[in-house]
Structures are given as C-alpha cells and as structure tokens.
Amino acid sequence: MTEGQPAPRPPSSFRGVRLDAIDIVPDSCTSQEPAIPIPAFLSQLAVSGVAVLVIVALAAAARLARSTPPLDEAAARALLADDFPDAQIDQVWLAADGAAALALSGSQALYLFRLGDAWVARDLAWSDVASAPVRGGRLHLPLSDVSPRLARPALAGWAPETA
C-alpha cells in the first residue's frame, strides 16, 4: 500500500456475497440528457400508433369476428343461461333488429344486447323495467352499471302489463 493514498475500502462480504456499495449516482445524473426524452417518447408513440391502425385495419379486413346472427327466442334463452344459470325465464321479448332481448325471470328482468361480435347481459328489478318509459318506439331501460347506463331497445310486442 503506498503511503499518502487512501486505503482501498476492503470488500466486506456475507456468505460469499459482496456487500460493498457500488456507485449509486443515477446514470441519468451523469449526462446532460433529460431523464425522459420527450421527443423520443412522442415519436415512439406516433410510430406505435400507426402500427395500431394498420393492425386494426387488417383485423377488420380479415373478417375474423364471430358470427352473431339476429337473436331468436331459443338463442336468447341460451345466452342468458350462460350468465344466469339459475334463472327461470318466464317470458322473452326480442328487439326488432335481433340485437337485444329482454326476459322476465320472477321479480327480475334480464337484459341481453350485442356489443361488436359478443353479447352482454345485465339484470335489474322488473319493477324498474315495467315502469320504464317508451319513447319513439324504444324502451328506455335504466341500467345501474357504469357502462352503459341506459339501454334503448325497440322490443317487438312490448307490453309489460301482460307479463
């Protein structure tokens, strides 16, 4: 050891693992570059955005969506049974376009609607459905969820008083 020079720090260890501290100055502090290069981030975002558009366009062009033909009563009952396997369905009303169905199940209403190539189901109190307004031939159903909060199916033969 040369006199006048600081003694090197002896490496300590624990079961063979070195315990001496290593440089903890952040790499970002040793250069003038900003920690988050905003222009690079934005350009990456833009390039990725273009890639997303291309993929979505190809996915649409490839026609890989599921087949979701207009509902009939049997299909509506089968789909509702997936979401509400314990429900006994008393009556079903279908939307004129086959994209939705409303069912009475005891004191509950079960509502089914198409979203893209899939189906979404909700349940609500029948009393809310029976008192829901009909405007322009469409029932205005108040759903309690964040999305959607309101459904507006045009149900064929809708007459809650006959249920």
Q: Which residues bind another protein (CB under 8 A)?
A: 14, 17-22, 24, 26-28, 36, 41, 45, 48-49, 51-52, 55-60, 62-66, 82, 85-86, 113, 115-118, 120-122, 143, 145-148
Minimum Å gap between C-beta 65 and another protein is 5
Minimum Å gap between C-beta 63 and another protein is 8
For every residue of the chain, which 3-state class applies, written as one string?
CCCCCCCCCCCCEECCEECCCCCCCCHHHHCCCCCCCHHHHHHHHHHHHHHHHHHHHHHHHCCCCCCCCCCCHHHHHHHHHHHCCCCCCCEEEEECCCCEEEEEECCEEEEEEEECCEEEEEEEEHHHHHCCCEECCEECEECCCCCCCEECCCECCCCHHHC
Minimum Å gap between C-beta 128 and another protein is 15
Minimum Å gap between C-beta 161 and another protein is 27
Is 29 or 159 the residue whose CB approaches another protein more closely? 29
Is 59 or 156 the residue whose CB approaches another protein more closely? 59
- Residue 90 is encoded by which pair of tokens? 């008393």
Minimum Å gap between C-beta 80 and another protein is 13
